[in-house]
Structure 1
Amino acid sequence: MNIFDIIALTNANTNWSTQIAFIMITSNIFAIAMGRYAIQVRNLGPSMPIAGLQGFGLTELLATTSLGHVIGAGIILGLRGTGLIA
């Protein structure tokens, strides 16, 4: 079985909806809020004094939004697998 057979077996449903956008935004906000209090060593990169995130640098923002996207993708794939969202 080569890569093209695996790609053919995957679901090609790539519809984007407001439900999916809401799930992704919510999971990113959750990850940023969680990282704000969980990251112990901060201010290692450029600072971003936006939206009350003083002391929360670019590296922390990229790390938490990366985690938020992983969480959001897992939630979206899980809900699609169970048929709760289209």
Structure 2
Amino acid sequence: MNAGLITAATGLTSPWSLNVAIIMIVCNLFAVAIGRFAIQKRGVGPALPVNVPGLFEGFGWAELLATASLGHILGAGIILGLGGTGAL
């Protein structure tokens, strides 16, 4: 198979920059805020080993991992979308 064809099919990703980091942080905070109100039974599993700010109150490991995973999925989609359009 032609190497140029494979390169054209994969597309380009945005290099890391401060804008990419800010987008990922905002997406993760947005996902935590959604999880704060959407998760009905918080703190059922193991608790976090550190004192946490008010936004994370009642969050355990399961809630933190779930919301951070959602935040990274949202962030990756937004970064790839903005990078593909040239806006990033």
Q: Deviation string for 1:19-62 (max 9, x for gaps)?
A: 00000000000000110111012112122341122211110000
Gapped regions of structure 2 (runs ≥ 5): none
Q: Figure out how many residues of one structure are paired with residues of the other and give that number.
A: 83
Question: Please, what TM-score do these two structures have when normalized by structure 2?
Answer: 0.80
Conserved in 2, the CA contact under 8 Å of 1:47 and 1:54? no
Superposition RMSD on alpha carbons, in Å?
2.2
Identity of aligned residues (%): 54
The runs of 4+ residues in structure 1 deviating greater than 2 Å are 4-9, 11-14
In the TM superposition, 1:4-23 aligns within 5 A as 8=7, 9-13=9-13, 15-23=15-23
Partner of 2:81: 78
Q: Name the SS for the 2:82 alignment partner.
A: helix
Gapped regions of structure 1 (runs ≥ 5): none
Conserved in 1, the CA contact under 8 Å of 2:27 and 2:75? yes
